[in-house]
C-alpha cells in the first residue's frame, strides 16, 4: 500500500523534526538520471543520496527501498510521455503513433525495457498511458479483452526490438568495435568454417542481409519490418470482427 500511496502522492501526516531537504519527485528524478546515464544496475539508494547531497539513510525517509523506487521511476517516465489526440486518424496511424511513442521512450530510457511489467505500478503515469493507448483500438469492433490483448501484443513487439537494440549497442561499446568492424575481423575465419556447399541458405541469406544492413542486425529495419507485420496481423483481426 505504501507504494500506491507514493505513486499517487497521497498526503501522509508529517511528524515532528527538521524540514526535509528534498522531495519524492527529486529522488525519483535523480534515480532516472542515474539509470539513463549509467544503467539501472547503478541505481542504489546510496547513489541517489550522493546525487542529491543527502545521507543514505535520509533517502529512505522519501522512498522505502529500491523496489519502490523503480516503480516510481517507471511511472514517472510513463507520465512524461506525450499523449497526442488520436481522434480522426485511421486505426493504422493510431497504432503506429503508439508504437512510435513507446520506441522513443525506450530509446531515451533503455532500462525501462528490462523491468518486468506483469505487475505494473498502477500510478497516474501507468494509468494515463494505458487509457491513452487503448484509444488506438477503440471503435474498431474489438471487445475489451481483444483491445487489451492487441495493445499488449503491440507493446511486446516494441519492447523486444528496443531490448535487442540496447544489447547490440552495449556489446559494441563494451568491445570497442561496431558490428561491421566485428564482422570484418571475423570474416576470414568464418569463411573457412562456414562454406556455401555445407550451409547454402545460411551463407546466401546471411550475405545478403549483412550487405543490406552493414552487419548482422539493423534495429531500424527490424522495427519497421516487424511493425508492418504487426499491423497486418491486427488488420486480419479487425477485418474478421467487422465481417
First to last CA, the chain: 45
Confidence of residue 227 (pLDDT cuts 50, 70, 90): very high
Q: Are residues 74 and 93 in the same domain?
A: no
Residues 146-179: tens digit of each pLDDT: 999 999 999 999 999 999 999 999 998 999 988 7
The whole-angstrom separation of Cα 44 and Cα 50 is 10
CB distance 72 to 127 below 8 Å: no
Work out how many domains the chain is built from and give that number.
2
pLDDT higher than threshold 70 for residue 182: yes
How much is the pLDDT for 15?
57
Query: Residue 144 has which C-alpha cell?
Result: 475489451
pLDDT higher than threshold 80 for residue 196: yes
The whole-angstrom separation of Cα 67 and Cα 109 is 18
CB distance 56 to 108 below 8 Å: no
The whole-angstrom separation of Cα 229 and Cα 90 is 17
Residue 233 maps to which CATH number?
1.10.357.10
pLDDT higher than threshold 90 for residue 52: yes
pLDDT higher than threshold 70 for residue 14: no
Q: Are residues 217 and 132 in the same domain?
A: yes
CB distance 125 to 180 below 8 Å: no
Choose between 75 and 213: higher pLDDT.
75
Q: Are residues 98 and 210 in the same domain?
A: yes
Q: Are residues 109 and 123 in the same domain?
A: yes
Query: Residue 188 has which C-alpha cell?
Result: 576470414
Q: Are residues 181 and 221 in the same domain?
A: yes
Q: Are residues 60 and 94 in the same domain?
A: no
Task: Please provide the average confidence, as pLDDT, over all residues in the chain.
Answer: 93
Residue located via cell numbers 508504437 = 99
Confidence of residue 117 (pLDDT cuts 50, 70, 90): confident
pTM: 0.92
**Polymer length in residues for the chain:** 243
For residue 200, what are the contacts with CB-CB under 8 A and spacing of at least 6?
none
Domain range enclosing 156: 84-239
pLDDT higher than threshold 70 for residue 206: yes
The whole-angstrom separation of Cα 32 and Cα 40 is 9
Query: Residue 166 has which C-alpha cell?
Result: 540496447
How much is the pLDDT for 161?
98
Residue 54 maps to which CATH number?
1.10.10.60
Residue located via cell numbers 522512498 = 63
pLDDT higher than threshold 90 for residue 213: no
The whole-angstrom separation of Cα 105 and Cα 77 is 8
Amino acid at each position: 500500500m505504501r507504494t500506491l500511496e507514493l505513486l499517487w502522492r497521497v498526503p501522509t501526516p508529517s511528524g515532528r523534526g527538521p524540514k526535509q531537504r528534498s522531495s519524492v519527485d527529486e529522488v525519483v528524478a535523480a534515480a532516472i538520471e542515474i539509470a539513463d546515464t549509467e544503467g539501472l544496475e547503478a541505481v542504489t539508494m546510496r547513489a541517489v543520496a550522493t546525487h542529491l547531497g543527502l545521507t543514505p539513510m535520509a533517502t529512505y525517509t522519501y522512498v522505502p527501498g529500491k523496489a519502490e523506487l523503480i516503480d516510481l521511476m517507471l511511472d514517472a517516465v510513463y507520465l512524461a510521455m506525450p499523449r497526442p489526440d488520436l481522434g480522426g486518424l485511421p486505426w493504422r496511424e493510431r497504432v503506429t503513433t503508439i508504437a512510435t511513442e513507446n520506441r522513443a521512450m525506450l530509446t531515451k530510457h533503455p532500462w525501462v525495457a528490462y523491468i518486468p511489467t506483469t505487475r505494473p505500478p498502477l500510478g497516474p503515469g501507468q494509468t494515463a498511458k494505458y487509457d491513452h493507448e487503448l484509444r488506438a483500438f477503440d471503435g474498431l469492433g474489438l471487445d475489451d479483452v481483444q483491445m487489451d490483448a492487441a495493445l499488449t501484443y503491440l507493446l511486446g513487439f516494441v519492447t523486444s526490438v528496443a531490448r535487442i537494440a540496447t544489447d547490440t549497442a552495449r556489446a559494441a561499446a563494451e568491445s570497442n568495435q561496431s558490428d561491421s568492424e566485428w564482422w570484418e575481423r571475423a570474416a576470414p575465419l568464418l569463411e573457412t568454417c562456414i562454406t556455401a556447399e555445407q550451409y547454402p541458405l545460411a551463407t546466401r541469406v546471411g550475405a545478403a542481409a549483412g550487405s543490406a544492413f552493414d552487419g548482422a542486425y539493423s534495429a531500424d529495419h527490424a522495427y519497421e519490418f516487424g511493425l508492418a507485420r504487426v499491423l497486418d496481423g491486427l488488420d486480419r483481426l479487425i477485418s474478421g470482427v467487422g465481417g
